[in-house]
Structure 1
Amino acid sequence: GQLSLTKCVVLVDRGINPRNFRAVLREIKRNFDPHYDFIMIPKVPLDTLDFTSFKMNLGSKMIIDATSKSEVEKSEISKEPDVEQIRKILLKANPTIRDFNTYENTLLVFQVEKNGRETIEKLVSQKELSSFKIIAAVSEDVDVFNQEKTIWGIFTRFDAERDIVFTEQKLMGISTVYSGVMGIDATWKQGYPEPLKMDENIIKKVDEKWAKIFRS
């Protein structure tokens, strides 16, 4: 079914509302250790409309296990760096970073003009940012202060196998083991189709007629 085409699956405990993005992030903060709780599944069927892998119907998926484990494994909720400290770290890594936002001391997302991948690789190794579980780079058209647009901007613009890095990743036998902060390069890449933009005249007409058509 449609679940087989899902790019990212996050597992949480019973009682956690999976539709509450912030609640899910809090569970990732408490319970996610990529060494044990991250699974990458490369080269599998993908939604036809997902263009991120550059190959129709073929891409990669990832699973994050944010369910409760033993008390020993559970992460403590640590204090995130202050806004100005984060800003200095980001701009030092890449002066073309435009703005940033944080969600639940778990996700740090920033807008960047260019070199998203290189910037992510630098930031996941920054000790001052190690309180975050995920650092994501998005393009300038994504409003990082709007939760829905942030979710859309991240999860529609990366291929898990190609665009995810960790603070450390190494081979143990034939298996890759990950540790530290997860970085996601969700910037717009060469070869992606241009984002659709609604004609301003159409927007104006819809706004004018909206109240008449959908009266409360």
Structure 2
Amino acid sequence: MRRSDLLALIKDAPHRLIPRCVITQSSGKQRIIDSADQGGQTMYSADFNKLVLCSPLRPAQRIQATLATMTVTQQQEAAQTDAWETGGSPMRESDTLGCMVMFYHHVWQEPAFQVYAGLFFGLPLAVTSFNRYSRLVEALGRRLCGALVSLYFDDASLTDWRSSQGSAQWAFKTLNELLGTPLAPDKRLANFLEQGMYTRIGCSGLGAIKQRQLSKDRILTPEL
């Protein structure tokens, strides 16, 4: 969108723009990157990958697609005996004001702006999910494992029935191991603690982190 469209969308709210830059790697290959650091504009660069952003609506869309295949009786039974579980960090509307990218549009001959609607990873790490491999793994997870999974670059979000007892997570984990790109155990430990869906189960780990914030005398394990 153009500058005027951006301001109309956010209603002139204070915001921060991330310049989209082009970097030259040691091999001579040029790559575009969204960065808070200074860098050249992408006037002469091109990216033919399909742009796909992970939306905080993905869990709701996955549940909606599943319910559409069920009869009314099955839906009523599931509502009484089961529940949905998922994890992730949906972006708040206020966070989007700090997660916008800007690049020079060679057709418009003026700056262009893009508001991120995906998961919020912090200003320096706001990246575009254009990695082809992550799209492949996402597709294989859905088609081969029957898992309701979406990927944002290399981070996965799963939705599953509580009664399945983590079978979708196990199947997707096994798939990645067979592909030669296993999920990092250390990251799964950290994600377990940071997701509110585990309620009281995760409180013990979060308590240790909170105590470390209040006192440097507290010691955390290397994983944390």
User: Larger strand proportion, structure 1 or 2?
Assistant: 1
Greater radius of gyration (CA): 2
TM-score by length of structure 1 reads 0.25
What is the TM-score of this pair, normalised by structure 2?
0.24
